[in-house]
């Protein structure tokens, strides 16, 4: 009980610090815009409010935020955070019983059950991993150590109390048995459910820390990566090979986050389970996500995310994206599946992914309508593998017969073989110098002139053949070739 109270106190203190940081961001953003004139920009590029009415409303909000900040700072200085044992939401519900369709008796039962708890952390080396609350793996009996004032109620040796009911674990029972047999630390929590009228015992333990591979090791293994783009109502994912090229059809997993907290968490777990199943099906070694955090956006969203109804809708959408919960749930669930989670920088993934990868994905996808979110998932996966997101211009497209694409993301143009000529110029290429072209659609290319193999020898310094004279061939639209040779004075004359 002491440990649980201390954990709750530390959590409340951290929440106070986070609230103070958010209030300071909001006050700073409003103050900067209040300095600028209405409808005009200041020297720092900060635009003032649209009219005097909006400016007055923001001044009132500034005073409210400053008052809230003063209260938070006083609580931090005194070290007295606000803690409600049993839950603040349930405490507030006491004043709205009619709206919640509850009677006073029902609410009292929930309140007492919420405040009743018994927790005991495990100890390594203790019998079955926990000396305070011990569960026998053979018959499932539960015994508790009683404090000294209650030792006269003990019904088991060494001042312990044996419960009349037994427990049995169905989920992950084998792991629990391995843990308690080796006398590893196991934590137990006993809680009451007023709806069913039953008591439940939960067991938890710390998993061993695994050494995460680096991006170079992931690429060296030659395995595939699953890039995931988290959105407000769905997950967009695409499989990439070790070179960063998308494979197969991208998928869209719906994500409906409505209802109570337990319902939202269950739907989020279901979406993550579908994501892990898809990664296993495609033999992926890891899942790449964005390291998102909307703390600053939630604090200053009213000043930077638009005005009116449209801005309010967008702010609600951003605030509803479960970034932290999705990251923590995914990390815990992929650990048991043997997958690696790679969090990358979210900068420009949606913009560059939609710009460079939406059309290539649509060309290779026959059944899926590709969106810019699928392009963002490719960008996330490429960044996790250490590749660039933007595709180099001029990459050869798909061949209609062989369906071969040159590798993307190259830093430089591959060198040509020594002695080969440049590609022929197209009709749209402007001519340089004083050379004339008989027809706009003609193509120019250099060819070696007629020569006798017995004449001339190659100069080692210049690499040219003495005695040879270059010739120019002009291929016309009608298929004829006109030859021109080098004459006196370096001018081109018909030969």
Which of 170, 179, 166 minimizes the C-alpha distance to 205?
179
Lowest model confidence (mean pLDDT) among 5-14, 145-154, 436-445? 436-445
How do strand 187-193 and strand 160-166 relate by DSSP bridges? unpaired
**Residue 430 or 218, more confident:** 218
Tokens of 56: 């007055």
Q: What percent of the chain stands above pLDDT 90?
A: 26
Label residue 404 by pLDDT band (50, 70, 90).
very low
Q: Which two tokens stand for residue 82?
A: 């606000």
Distances (CA, A) of 27 to 52, 55, 69: 19, 14, 9
C-alpha of 193 from chain center: 36
- Residue 474 confidence (pLDDT) above 50: no
Distance CA 385, CA 216 (A): 8
What letter does residue 161 receive in the DSSP assignment? Answer: E
How confident is the model over 328-339, as pLDDT tens digits?
889 888 887 888
Q: How far apart are CA 42 and CA 39, in angstroms?
A: 10
Least trusted range by pLDDT, from 12-16, 208-212, 313-317, 457-461: 457-461
Whether the CB-CB separation of 372 and 362 falls below 8 Å is answered with no
Which residue reads 């959408």 in tokens? 317
Residue-wise pLDDT for 53-83, tens only, equals 888 999 999 999 999 999 999 999 999 998 8
Q: What does the pLDDT read at residue 452? A: 44
Dihedral class, residue 268 (left if φ above 0, else alpha if ψ from -120 to 50, else beta): alpha
- Compute the mean pLDDT over every residue in the chain, rounded to the nearest whole number: 78
What are the tens digits of pLDDT across the range 239-271?
A: 999 888 999 899 999 988 888 888 888 999 999
| Residues in CB range of 437: below 8 A, 6 or more apart | 431, 444, 474
């Amino acid at each position: 009980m002491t440990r649980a109270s201390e954990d709750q106190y530390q959590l409340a203190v951290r929440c106070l610090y986070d609230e103070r940081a958010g209030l300071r961001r909001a006050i700073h953003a409003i103050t900067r815009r209040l300095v600028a004139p209405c409808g005009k920009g200041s020297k720092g590029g900060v635009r003032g409010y649209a009219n005097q009415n909006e400016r007055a409303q923001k001044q009132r909000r500034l005073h409210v935020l400053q008052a809230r900040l003063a209260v938070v700072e006083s609580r931090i200085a005194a070290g007295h955070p606000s803690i409600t044992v049993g839950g603040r939401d349930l405490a507030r519900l006491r004043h709205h019983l009619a709206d919640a369709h509850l009677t006073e008796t029902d609410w009292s039962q929930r309140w007492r059950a919420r405040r009743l708890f018994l927790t005991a952390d495990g100890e390594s080396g203790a019998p079955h991993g926990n000396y305070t609350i011990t569960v026998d793996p053979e018959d499932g009996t539960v015994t508790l150590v009683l404090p000294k004032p209650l030792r006269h109620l003990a019904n088991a040796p060494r001042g312990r109390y044996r419960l009349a009911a037994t427990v049995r674990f169905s989920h992950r029972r084998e792991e629990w048995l391995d843990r308690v047999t080796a006398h590893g630390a196991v934590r137990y929590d006993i809680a009451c459910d007023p709806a069913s009228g039953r008591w439940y015992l939960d067991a938890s333990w710390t998993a061993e820390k695994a050494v995460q591979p680096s991006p170079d090791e992931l690429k060296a293994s030659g395995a595939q990566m699953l890039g995931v783009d988290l959105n407000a109502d769905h997950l967009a994912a695409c499989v990439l090979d070790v070179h960063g090229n998308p494979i197969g059809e991208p998928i869209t997993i719906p994500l409906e986050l409505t209802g109570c907290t337990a319902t939202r968490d269950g739907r989020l777990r279901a979406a993550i389970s579908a994501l892990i199943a898809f990664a296993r099906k495609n033999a992926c070694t890891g899942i790449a996500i964005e390291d998102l955090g909307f703390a600053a956006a939630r604090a200053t969203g009213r000043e930077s995310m638009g005005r009116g109804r449209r801005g309010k809708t967008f702010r609600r959408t951003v605030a509803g994206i479960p970034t932290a919960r999705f990251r923590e749930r995914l990390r815990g669930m992929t650990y048991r599946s043997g997958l690696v989670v790679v969090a990358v920088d979210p900068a420009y993934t949606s913009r560059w992914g939609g710009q460079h990868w939406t059309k290539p994905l649509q060309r290779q996808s026959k059944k899926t309508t590709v969106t810019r979110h699928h392009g963002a998932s490719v960008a996330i996966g490429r960044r996790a593998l250490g590749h660039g997101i933007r595709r180099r211009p001029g990459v050869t497209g798909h061949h209609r017969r062989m369906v071969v694409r040159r590798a993307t993301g190259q830093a430089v143009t591959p060198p040509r073989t020594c002695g080969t000529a440049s590609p022929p110029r197209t009709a749209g290429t402007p001519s340089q110098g004083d050379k004339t072209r008989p027809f706009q659609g003609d193509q120019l290319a250099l060819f070696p002139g007629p020569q006798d193999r017995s004449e001339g020898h190659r100069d080692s310094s210049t690499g040219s053949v003495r005695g040879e004279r270059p010739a120019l061939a002009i291929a016309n639209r009608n298929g004829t070739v006109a030859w021109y040779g080098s004459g006196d004075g370096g001018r081109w004359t018909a030969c």
